[in-house]
Structure 1
Amino acid sequence: MSGAVSLLLAIAAWFAVASVAAASDASGPPDGKAIYSERCAACHGDDGQGTDSYPSALAGDLPVSRLAEVITDTMPEGEPEQCTGADAEAAARYLYDAFYSPIAQARLRPPRVKLSRLTTRQHQQTLVDLAQSFAWRPKRDGQQGLAATFYEGPGADANRKSAERIDPRVDFSLIDSGLFSKEFLFPPEDTSLEPIPRANKHSVVMLWQGGVRAPETGPHEFIVETNAGFTLHINDHREPIIDGRVKSGDSNGGRARINLVEGRTYHVRLSVTRVHEEDVTVELRWKTPTGVEELIPARALSPHESPELLIIDAPLPPDDQSEGFVRAANVSAQWDDAVTRVALETADRLVKALPELRKLPDDRGQAKEKAREFCLEFADRAFRHPLSDEQRRRHVDAFFDADLSWRQAAKLSLLTTLKSPYFLYPELGTAGAEPDWRVASRLALTLWDSTPDEPLNLLARRGKIHTRDQALEQAHWMLEDPRAEAKLVQFFRNWLEMNIPEPLRRDSETYAGFSSRVADDMRTSLELFVLDLLLSESTDFRQLFLSQEFYLNDRLATFLGAEPPISEELGDDEFHRVTLEPDDRAGVVTHPFVVANHAYYRETSPIHRGVFLARHILGRALRPPPVAVAPTAPDLHPDMTTRERVALQTSPPECQHCHVMINDLGFSLEQFDAVGRLRDQEHGKPIDPSGGYVTTDGQEHEFQHARELAHFLADSRDVQRAFVIQLFEHLAKQPIMAYGEDTPDVLMQRFEEHGFSIRNLAAEIAATIAVPPSPPSSGPQG
């Protein structure tokens, strides 16, 4: 009986396939939907959602031509000959349009804008700005270095000022400076009685002050190296972070750590006193969270005074980045506990600073009213709109009307504000407010990761920031703020995979001269490359791939075999923009850090480089390999080049569907070794840097070397579209399709119309988020 049933089923299956073929022959082109339903749906689901047999959904970004190849080679399983040629192409076109492509996926399963709390970065930036909104703002004019002042005699007496200037960095020798005569520094012997001791009479006070800008968020270690007495102040005008006025033993200086927030400029003051008849040398150094110890460079210093900023030591947990951008939709006990600790520390610091911030009078009653006014203003700014009567009663008056001291009332009010959902969930905080307040809040979060400043609040109070054109106008000037620059730099760090926890390490025998300092120079060089483009007038995205000018210092240039750009004034640590190997390099994909960062300890890695180009630059979706395979050890094939080994390792059919793209992209960078230097041979064989790429619309491109790859990327619609989507999601912390499936196309058009200006694109994105073209899809509130 079972044999008869099997025969009947086989006959039915044959008739089903035959009927599809007959229908195709009778009506012209094959019916892709019918072919998919008959031959594919049983395994992959009616809408490609997956089944128990094949749980992975059919979704991705392969072009129709590549999908047809995959279908021809693999489907139906065990009998791929049943679906080839025109049938495979028809099935590929159907599933691409119906459920496979990103647009089809967005149509079937529309992403939603989720109610989100502040991200860790937004929380940090917002707290700094809330506190600083009650203080003065520093001058910004682009000057670099520290203001240096020198005094003759004991103490910084203005009447004994000898000289003042701006020093690009603190690397100082008293004798070499030429500021004082040798007769003053080293007076002749004098045996006569003097009313002033010789050590005081010929002492010198050296003072450097201004601001220091943190390049990263986290602990920064400041180091003073000097043979004299000194004090170093960082973000505190009263108490030094290092007090070296009294030397202990053979110590020459000191060091201390302090948590700083990226993009912020902190007060710095270094005072050094010469009290003995000897030369004095002074160096001010630092070690950033991911950097190496170095002299603080001029680009991080400002000669203008800076106010004290709020510094919070309590840590916040990292946010989820599983979707390719930072998300803050989930709430955990760990996060709630961390937020509470941050709120407690913030309230304590603000209450301690309040007498000076608000010049509180001695009268207790008047002091309490002044403190109440402060807490009202603080809650207004924290909630991003004027308080309602109920909010005022709950967050402020309930404590100040109670029998509490002003300190107790202020601390409880600040704690309640900082733990309120109206503060922690910006969209919830402005939900009942006028549209102008929501637009101002969204702009500030998008471009600054913070709260609106007074100009934005003033526009909101006047009802002049609720249209898209008004939002766009404000976005353009907001991009001039250092906070916007810091957020864009953070995007490029993620996009170019610069956020490595420690400097690159390479085999010292294979790559003589490579060190953690050279690796840090490479990373700094890439960041300066990006900053140079962001601060340029055009900010042309294409120059990321076409520019042949790179930033090098003497050490990095020497390592790469280039002409050292030495500056006698600044020394060999400072970077200069130079043309580097123009016949072989162009833009970020050939930058020494990028190619070195995607390599192994001893060899290059075309796979790592290809995956980076595919995912980050071209925005392609890559699935994890079906089987974990260790790289083929070079010792097993000592005569093979890396290209030959990788081609051998990835030759099985199950690998080729992804590695056709990955390998062809990665091979094009093989002319650069594992430390980013140019090479033309490997194991005595000439390097073959040719490669290719099939675009998402099916066009095939070939390139013979890295520069051709770079020029292709500069003009690629895939690259431009991927950049638009990734920048949007970095700024919004939400999926772009949640704002409408045509949003990428609209922004692409505006990107092109404005000469591919990155800054203009950021402004357009901010305006789209602030005033969506139509209400975005909203998900469950929670």
Structure 2
Amino acid sequence: MPTQNVALGDDDAVRKKGEAIYQAACVECHGKAGEGVPEFYPDPLLGDATIGELTELIADTMPEEDPDTCVDDDAAAVSAYIHHAFYSEAAQVRNRPPRIRLARLTGEQLRQSLAGLYGSFDSSPWAEKSGGIKGIYFQGSRWDKKKIKLERTDPVIDFDFGHVGPSKEKGIDPSEFYIHWSGSLLANQTGRYEIIVRSTCSFVMDFGRDGREFVNNHVQSEGRTEFRQTLNLTGGRAYMFKIDFFQRKRKTEQPPATISLSWVPPGGVEEIVPASNLLPSWMPATLALQTKLPPDDRSYGYERGTAVNRQWDESTTNAAIEFSQYAISELWPHYERRHRKDSDENRARLRGFARELVSTAFRGKLSDAQQKVYIDHPIDQTPDDSEAIKTICLMALKSPRFLYPTLDFDQSESQRVANRLALVMYDSLPSDRWLQKLIEQNKLTTEKQISEAAWKMNGDFRLKAKTQAFLHEWLELTHSVDVSKDQKKFPGFDERIIADLRASLDAFLDDVVWSETSDYRELVNADWTITNERLAKFYGDKWIPADDHAVGLTRSVADTQTRMGVLSHPLLMANLSYHQTTSPIHRGVFLYRKTLGRTLRPPNAAFSPLNPDLHPKLTTRQRVSLQTDEVSCQVCHSKINTLGFALENFDPVGRFRITDNDQPVDASGSYVNRQGETTRFDGPRELAQYLATSSDAHRAFVDSCFEHFVKQPAAAYGADTLDRLTRQFQQDNFNIRQLIINIAVTVAKQTQASK
């Protein structure tokens, strides 16, 4: 049961007494408002410790030259004053209310916005269940409807037809046949992908748009059977592709017919492109920006578009030039064909194309003055259509109206709401046809209309990718994280296992978030995970599939003793460990900061763990306790260690253990919440149960979610925004998807209020 720490008085009289003591004894080192003094204590006095915790700290350590001079009621009075005046979160918001900061597009927002701008000239993408690619099998070596022998959805492209061919039963001659595969490839996350096609026969592959050639092996290269292309793909985007595969009759000996489609996803290893990333339909054509963009500022724990420098300026110019090339070669010809019956007097078609492009990029209708500057003048001064389009693209895509999406220029209320919804939900601009229609009809003015529009966005691949990126950020896991371990101590923990763990984690996150309940408590408290045969062999019986007949990634058997949802997943446990040993400190810091949303001051000096060889008989817990038992260390490690020790049942590769160095694992721990209540737990299950019900954990999750989706602090939308969203989250049975909707609606409504 929680126990209440003693919090001494904090009324006006006590705070007044504390102020007098602070001004007399503390100002010289900490500043008048706790801002810090460079030569003594440069860090400001900010945090979320309770008054009781501050009282204990002051009584034990302050002032440094004579700690015994400020104890008991004096220490309590000073802590009450500091907490109220400038230390606590409420005081920080009161003294310096956060504002919605002017921000440019982040790198991801730029990629998504340009993809949305490109896609606005086609139909809108739609949600579709993945599971394979459409294949049409012909007798003969060309497309002939009369010679179609077989149509089916192939789960993957990985075939060895040998000399037998696809199907003798369907009348397909193995010496001469043609297969047309078409569909879309879904990228789960933004990053660098290597696409690999291996084929013993001729083939041609288009990617991203019909006619955009990716690999041309129509005239088969002698002895060449492997083709690789590396490119950037944007998360949540589905890229249409087709493969035309030919087995032709030959006078010489015919090779066996084989073909496979593989990839190396960001941070992964080569694998056959799985069915979960294949769609049997052609999604609308899209753009995958290849321009290298500089990393965004992450000093606040989430990506912010704040840095404006030469590198960013050059990269946005290069991105605009790259987009203009696609606009000239693909968008403009497509637009011309659609409007070939329209009058072209005074280059009217080009002006219509440019108007559609620029108004979409600017997220609103153009004024007469903008029409003249961005469209009429470049076209009038440039007789060559391609050069005019390039100039228009550069002018529009370098404009603040495109690069600074939070600037509310002269736009209708529905337009501003749509802009915010698209930015929060998709990191993009409102290019979808159905959303444009709502703008035109001015049907985004009430909370009900805004909420309905946000729910219509729910389930879109772009939102799924952004949600997965948020959860990776919340877990401090990215595709570049190195979780390799000492192979002598952990044989078999290789790159293949690590790739499986990444796939397992992402599948688990998807299963929880996109289930009917979308329950946060399941995220941190589930007694199951996602496994496969290789993971079960490495991690043991608790990882065997629940269904004996399942193939590939599937749900594991339940385990109420050793499993605690995503927080005990081996990928996370391995990331929060050293090369040879666990790290209760890293695990404790993660739980305290990310999962529970608390603040810790930076360490006084660089921390190096004690070498286990110096204390060969100690467990990791005993070794960490020995190193951090000094009073100065315990200020933070009394909070960190007691959380990290609760995960000591998981070794450096995330396997459950009951002994460490031949001694029983002590996984007991505790936590003091924001209200000063102490909760004790013994082992990971009790910790999981606490995190599922902890208001601190709920608030931290909501805060992280808001910052990731909005790129602004929640308090900038009102001092009570975070608390209100947290209460709503709890009332909605911790539904993660509903939380995202509530955040999007909050931002859209703020846009209305700022009109």
Give your verdict on TM over 0.5.
yes
**Aligned twin of 1:40:** 26
Q: C-alpha separation between the residues in 2 aligned to 1:96 and 1:466?
A: 41
Q: Go from structure 1 to structure 2 and tell me whether the alpha carbon gap of 1:580 and 1:649 turns closer, same or farther (over 3 Å shift).
A: farther
Contact 2:187 2:233 in 1 (8 A): yes
Could you say which residue in structure 2 is the equivalent of 1:314?
A: 291
* 8 Å contact from structure 1 (residues 504, 516) kept in 2: no
CA 321–747 in structure 1, closer or farther in 2 if over 3 Å, else same: same
* Residue 247 (structure 2) aligns with: 274
The answer for the alignment partner of 2:722 in structure 1 is 744
- The 2-side partners of 1:478 and 1:166 are apart by 27
Q: Is 2:77 the counterpart of 1:90?
A: yes
| Matched residue, 2:5 | none
Could you tell me whether the CA contact under 8 Å between 1:153 and 1:201 is conserved in 2?
A: no
**1:517 counterpart (476, 496, 502):** 496
Q: Which residue number corresponds to residue 661 of structure 1?
A: 639
Aligned equivalents of 2:474, 2:233: Cα separation in 1: 23
Instruction: Identify the residue that residue 696 of structure 1 maps to in structure 2.
Output: 674
Residues 206-285 of structure 1 mapped to structure 2, 5 A cutoff: 206-275=179-248, 279-285=256-262
CA offsets, 1:488-547, max 9 Å, x none? 111111111220415521111111111011111112211111111221112111111111
Flag the 1:653–1:150 CA change in 2: closer, same or farther, 3 A: same
* Structure 1 residue 155: Cα displacement: 2.3
Question: Secondary structure at 1:285's aligned position in 2?
Answer: strand
Q: Which amino acid aligns with 1:258?
A: L
Preserved contact between residue 72 and residue 81 of structure 1 (Cα < 8 Å): yes
Q: Offset of 1:175 from its aligned partner?
A: 5.9
Q: Quick one: which amino acid aligns to residue 273 of structure 1? A: F
Which stretch shows the higher mean deviation, 219-228 or 636-645?
219-228
Residue of structure 2 equivalent to 1:203: 176
Aligned partner of 1:133: which letter?
Answer: S
* Counterpart residue type for residue 756 of structure 1: F
Instruction: Report 1:48-59 matches (<5 A).
Output: 48-52=34-38, 53-59=40-46
| Cross-structure match for 1:551 | 530
What letter corresponds to residue 519 of structure 2 in structure 1? D
**Within 2, Cα distance between the matches of 1:331 and 1:28?**
47
Change (3 A) 1:157 1:139: farther
> Is the Cα–Cα contact under 8 Å of residues 16 and 81 in structure 2 kept in the other structure?
no
**Pair 1:656–1:146, CA change in 2 (3 A):** same
Q: What is the one-letter code of the residue matched to 2:230?
A: R
Matches within 5 A, 1:265-664: 265-275=238-248, 279-353=256-330, 354-359=332-337, 361=340, 365-366=344-345, 368-402=347-381, 404-428=383-407, 430-452=408-430, 453-501=432-480, 503-562=482-541, 564-565=544-545, 571=551, 574-664=552-642
Classify 1:170/1:568 alpha carbon distance in 2 versus 1 (closer, same or farther; 3 Å).
Answer: farther
Distance, in Å, in 2 between the alignment partners of 1:177 and 1:766 is 56
Q: Does 1:767 align with 2:745?
A: yes
User: In the alignment, residue 63 of structure 2 is paired with which amino acid?
Assistant: P
- SS of the residue 1:537 aligns to: coil
Q: Does 1:142 align with 2:129?
A: yes
Deviates more, 1:123-132 or 1:735-744: 735-744
Query: Which structure would you say has the larger Rg?
Result: 1
Shift of 1:140: 3.5
Q: How much has 1:302 moved relative to structure 2?
A: 0.5
Structure 1: how far apart are the matches of 2:753 and 2:307? Answer: 23
**Which amino acid counterpart does residue 727 of structure 2 have in structure 1?**
Q
Paired residues of 1:99 and 1:105 also in contact (CA < 8 A)? yes
C-alpha distance in structure 1 between counterparts of 2:345 and 2:183, whole Å? 36
Q: 1:82 to 1:601 in 2, by over 3 A?
A: same
Q: Give how far 1:30 is off.
A: 8.9
1:568 Cα deviation (Å)? 10
Q: Distance in 1 between matches of 2:177 and 2:55?
A: 80
Over the matched positions of the two proteins, sequence identity in percent amounts to 38
What CA distance in whole angstroms lies between the structure 2 residues aligned with 1:538 and 1:183? 45
Q: What is the DSSP-based 3-state SS (H/G/I as helix, E as strand, rest coil) of the residue aligned with 2:347? A: helix
Deviation at 1:278, TM superposition (A): 5.6
Distance across 2 between alignment mates of 1:274 and 1:457: 46
Instruction: After TM superposition, give the deviation of residue 32 of structure 1 in Å.
Output: 3.0
Change beyond 3 A, Cα 1:589–1:566: closer
CA displacement at 1:585 relative to structure 2 = 0.7
Secondary structure in structure 1 of the residue aligned to 2:104: coil
Equivalent residue number for residue 4 of structure 2: none
Rounded to whole Å, the distance in 1 between the matches of 2:693 and 2:25 is 39
Q: What is the deviation of 1:329?
A: 2.2
Mind listing any 5+ residue stretches in structure 2 that lack a counterpart?
A: 1-8
Count, aligned residues: 736
Could you tell me how far apart the structure 2 residues matched to 1:692 and 1:177 are?
66
Letter of the structure 2 residue corresponding to residue 755 of structure 1: N
- Counterpart in 2 of 1:705? 683
Seen in structure 2, the aligned counterparts of structure 1 residues 64 and 322 have a Cα distance that, compared at 3 Å, is same
Shift of 1:327: 1.1
- Secondary structure of the residue aligned to 1:426 is coil
- CA–CA distance in 2 between the matches of 1:464 and 1:252? 55
**What is the rounded CA distance, in whole Å, between the counterparts of 2:499 and 2:550 in structure 1?**
18
Provide the C-alpha distance between the structure 2 equivalents of 1:77 and 1:236, rounded to a whole number of angstroms: 69
1:173 aligns with 2:146: no
Choose from 112, 122, 125 the match for 1:125: 112
Using a 3 Å threshold, how does the CA distance of structure 1 residues 308 and 461 change in structure 2: closer, same or farther?
A: closer
Report the equivalent of 1:189: none
Mapped to 1, the partners of 2:549 and 2:215 lie a distance apart of 28
Distance 1:587 1:258 in 2: 34
Per-residue deviation, 1:28? 9.0
Determine helix, strand or coil for the equivalent of 2:123.
Answer: coil
Match of 1:722 in 2: 700
Q: Deviations over 1:324-379 (max 9, x none)?
A: 11111231111111111111111121011111233165999559321110110111
The letter for the 2-side match of 1:387 is L
Q: With structure 2 as the length reference, what TM-score do the two structures score?
A: 0.92
In the alignment, the residues of structure 1 paired with residue 627 and residue 649 of structure 2 have an alpha-carbon distance, to the nearest angstrom, of 20
Q: Which residue of 2 aligns with 1:732?
A: 710
User: Which one is further off, 430-439 or 753-762?
Assistant: 430-439
Report the RMSD for the aligned CA atoms in angstroms: 2.7
Unaligned ranges ≥5, structure 1: 1-22, 186-199
Judged with a 3 Å threshold, the aligned counterparts in structure 2 of structure 1 residues 367 and 346 are, in CA distance, closer, same or farther, namely farther
Instruction: Tell whether the 8 Å contact from 2:200 to 2:255 is kept in structure 1 after alignment.
Output: no
User: SS at the partner of 1:401?
Assistant: helix
Aligned-pair CA distance for 1:281? 3.0
- TM-score normalised to structure 1 length: 0.89
**Aligned residues of 1:739 and 1:774 also touching (Cα < 8 A):** no
CA drift of 1:152 comes to: 2.2
